[in-house]
Chain A
């Protein structure tokens, strides 16, 4: 019995780590920009296909490809802000309009992936052997271990960035009250750009890890952003830490949920949790006054 429990725990942590990577960047962008950047999911899917293209089709070394993928993701997210959201903001567009635009972009990027690469599932050739290892009765693959390790590393780095660096403090200032921040000389637009860059870079890492762990499909972006969004809502959408914790909780809830319902309902668990939390506890587990308007 305990080995099933431990297995579900590990599976939950691995899944949760992936969601947390998505949610961390997403939440960083939300806390500073104050709107829901659903197109974040589009950045994931296009970056995954980018990785596939340069590593498999073009045959570039995996590690170089990964590095380029992170750059690609960063550039894509940054551009979306500069080319799109910034223009909408200049027109004083409401949050609803930005939301609709970002959903449209998500679908656009998803369809682009489908168009260029087709619907069949793609896999990435692994640079290392990925046989399941048996550690104390629990089965886990090297990739899964890497996912958890890299996630932890990124989360701590992000926290350091937010607390100790000038740009991190600027981001927190804008997240808290951007009018006051402006008066203090912090450029909101620069902070927005930076948050998009950092958030998208993190999700670039997520794209790489997900591509190794699962297969690449055009719909993976939508699926992951919904999970990341759910994790953010559960943990408190204005808080990056909350988003990470909420996502880990989601990963665990999904996997432990399979104890009670069939594995196919895993997604349903996430969506139902999302719906419930949006309605009942919109400030999440780590309540933050910056959440709603």
Chain B
């Protein structure tokens, strides 16, 4: 569903992403791993439109995403979470999540004349995912008052509720306790089984190797290896990249 061709991005003199090529299929979880600074988050920013590529293509369901704005790309069906949680801090959890369900809230007149009420059905959908993540109790808490782990979960819930076919997860389990890690893993696998694609960046190797169907390894902006988890584990180049040079 997603094809990256010859993607290049430089910032000043530094090539953050250097001629990358790879593919993501639907119904699969692909992990993007590599040492810090290898270009993984830049790839995410390129796909989601936050940063514009200098060269190359990003084809999503036959549509080239290059040049599209962030909101347009989201509406094509790509949802993401950020490395540092970006919640709407002065709104409560439920409001943070309701915003993700659809874009009817952008229509002023529809809202003004009462045609976009918050239905029980919508609230139920929000509550369902909160329950799956075991955080129903915080539904009315202000986002600014949540703990670190709770923020990560709410952001994940928000990205999932945002209609999508491809989910970009930037370090979904960083700093999160093992119990929650397991819940997230199960949730991601459930999403993949629904036919969606998942691309994730993670440093937790146990989590990554456990949950991924395919792994792409980056270093210094380039793809240096890719393959099944068991093969990557034994790959020389990968070990070298991670353990230093």
Q: Do chains A and B touch in the complex (CB under 8 A)?
A: no
